[in-house]
């Protein structure tokens, strides 16, 4: 644990002393939209993202282990207006290939998977959709194989972290069978953005996407069976002082405005759910959540450098939900060192609360009902296409259902896009 902490700090100091490599900030570490998914001049591009990591468990869990795993994310994007003259049309198709054994399953056995690229080893179809915009881009409809964790409940500042809890919130990932990494599902999404400050969106998905290691190994389950119910998400958002990239120099004559985004949303799953303590069942599951991303400070009045805050909090009913409460909070400092304006350091905390009504196989109450995470990460941008990311995680009560020694996990991720 000491060695991992010292290595993290030494690397940060060393990189700070180097000359800056200016690069646009990307969310390479999050397996959501491809970092390079903007179509080329002719309207067609073939973006690729590769993530590879080495992680080790230094304390807690069931064993001391180190693993290597990787994720290939390959696709194509077409601007149909540029390619064939279809005004307002676009489409994207992506495929995934994951390789390696995750540390969660072989050593730590945490409740929230500690790596957001951990997936069953298989070649699979991923996000694939057709979109049409109207009214100068203020309204859009998207149909195809969609992802809820791309469209809803996300935080831009939490996206840098490796632990899956900072991506798809456990109220979604643990309570229903949703279309989140690594499985997309048939769906329809409507979005309205009447101004740069406000948006509203709603989406309808198949209520059961299957399992990535058994019933849907290649994500070719393209049906929308009524017996699985329907999963509906809705979200509204407000942007405070939205940024305008390219309209101003990063270094302005005065302090640049502090931007923020605030979201309120929820979901409803229409299929039947059993009572977690064995009582009568329920005709549906739901959850409500709130997300806040807020810039706090621009060092030297440079808009490209920012200390930012994020938080997400939500709840679900205790009688039918595995997770009844979730909250995370953290800080994200992009350009913390003037010599490394593209680098980002992040510190995040997460709390997953299980329903107090849960019972074990013998009908007794659980001995514990929560899992907490503290993660420190540092993304160093070496070029516009390459970054490296040392990471340190403390996972308290791993597994969430009984007392367990704190797990200490550390490692390094490499992110490559082209």
Which domain covers residue 51, as residue numbers?
Answer: 2-417
Residue with tokens 């509203």: 200
Categorise residue 229: left if φ over 0, alpha if ψ from -120 to 50, beta otherwise: left
Q: What percent of the chain has pLDDT over 70?
A: 87
What CATH number did the domain enclosing 233 receive?
2.40.160.180
- Mean pLDDT for the stretch of residues 82-89: 94
Q: Which helix (H) or strand (E) holds 225?
A: none
The answer to whether residues 409 and 415 touch, using CB atoms and an 8 Å cutoff, is: no
pLDDT given for residue 77 in this prediction: 96
- Mean pLDDT for all residues in the chain: 88
Q: Which two tokens stand for residue 319?
A: 């009688």
The answer to whether residues 117 and 98 touch, using CB atoms and an 8 Å cutoff, is: yes
Can you list the pairs that 225-228 forms with residues at least 24 positions away whose Cβ atoms lie under 8 Å?
227/271, 228/271
The answer to whether residues 109 and 399 touch, using CB atoms and an 8 Å cutoff, is: yes
Residues 6+ apart with CB under 8 A from 127: 33, 75, 92, 93, 94, 144, 145, 146, 147, 150, 184
Domain count, the chain: 1
Across the chain, which distance is largest between two alpha carbons, in Å? 67
- Tell me phi and psi for residue 111, to 5 degrees: -75, -45
Q: How confident is the model at residue 16 (pLDDT cuts 50, 70, 90)?
A: very low
Q: How confident is the model at residue 243 (pLDDT cuts 50, 70, 90)?
A: confident
DSSP class per residue in 298-366: -GGGBTTSEEEEEEEEEE--TTT-SEEEEEEEEEEEET-STT-TT-EEEEEEEEEEE-TT-B-TTSPBP
Provide the 3-class DSSP secondary structure of residue 148: helix
Q: Which two tokens stand for residue 74?
A: 């390959």
Q: What percent of the chain has pLDDT over 90?
A: 72
pLDDT given for residue 233 in this prediction: 98
Q: How confident is the model at residue 13 (pLDDT cuts 50, 70, 90)?
A: very low
State the pTM of this model: 0.88
Residue 25 predicted with pLDDT over 80: no
Distance CA 247, CA 236 (A): 26
- Mean pLDDT for the stretch of residues 99-128: 95
Pick 222 or 374 by higher pLDDT: 374
Residue 263 predicted with pLDDT over 70: yes
Q: DSSP assignment, residue 273?
A: B
Beta-strand pair 344-354/48-59: unpaired
Q: Give 156-198 as a 3 state SS string.
A: CCCCCCCCHHHCCCHHHHCCCCCCCCCCCEEEEEEEEEEECCE
- Mean pLDDT for the stretch of residues 311-323: 96
- Strand (E) positions, 13-138? 44-45, 48-59, 66-79, 89-100, 123-134
Distances (CA, A) of 22 to 342, 353, 388, 390: 6, 41, 15, 20
């Amino acid at each position: 644990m000491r060695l991992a902490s010292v290595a993290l700090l030494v690397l940060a100091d060393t990189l700070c002393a180097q000359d800056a490599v200016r690069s646009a900030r990307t969310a390479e570490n999050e397996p959501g939209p491809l970092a390079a998914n903007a179509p080329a001049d002719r309207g067609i591009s073939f973006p690729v993202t590769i993530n590879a990591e080495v992680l080790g468990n230094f304390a807690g869990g069931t064993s001391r282990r180190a693993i290597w795993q990787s994720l290939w994310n390959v696709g194509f994007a077409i601007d149909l207006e540029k390619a064939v003259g279809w005004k307002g049309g676009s489409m994207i198709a992506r495929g995934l290939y994951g390789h390696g054994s995750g540390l969660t399953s072989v050593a730590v056995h945490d409740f929230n998977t500690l790596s957001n690229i951990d997936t069953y080893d298989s070649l699979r179809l991923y996000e694939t959709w057709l979109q049409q915009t109207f009214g100068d881009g203020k309204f859009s409809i998207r149909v195809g194989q969609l992802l809820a964790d791309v469209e809803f409940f996300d935080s831009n500042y939490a996206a840098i972290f490796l632990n899956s809890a900072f991506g798809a919130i456990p109220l979604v990932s643990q309570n229903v069978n949703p279309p989140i990494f690594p499985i997309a599902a048939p769906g329809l999404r409507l979005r309205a953005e009447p101004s740069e400050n406000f948006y509203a969106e709603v989406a309808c998905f198949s209520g059961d996407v299957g399992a990535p290691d058994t019933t849907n190994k290649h994500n070719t389950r393209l049906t929308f069976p009524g017996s699985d119910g329907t999963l509906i998400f809705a979200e509204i958002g407000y942007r405070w002082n939205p940024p305008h990239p390219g309209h101003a120099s990063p270094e302005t004559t005065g302090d640049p405005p502090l931007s923020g985004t605030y979201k309120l949303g929820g979901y409803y799953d229409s299929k039947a759910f059993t009572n977690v303590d064995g009582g009568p069942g329920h005709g549906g599951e739901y959850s409500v959540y709130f997300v806040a991303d807020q810039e706090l400070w621009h060092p030297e009045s440079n808009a490209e450098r920012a200390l930012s805050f994020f938080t997400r909090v939500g709840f679900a009913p205790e009688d039918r939900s595995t997770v009844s409460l979730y909250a995370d909070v953290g800080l994200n400092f992009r350009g913390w060192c003037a010599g490394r304006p593209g680098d980002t350091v992040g510190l995040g905390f997460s709390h997953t609360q299980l329903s107090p009504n849960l019972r074990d196989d013998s009908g007794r109450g659980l001995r514990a009902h929560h899992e907490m995470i503290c993660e420190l990460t540092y993304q160093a941008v070496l070029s516009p296409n390459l970054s490296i990311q040392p990471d340190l995680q403390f996972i308290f009560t791993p597994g969430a259902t009984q007392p367990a020694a704190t797990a200490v996990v550390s490692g390094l991720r490499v992110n490559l896009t082209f």
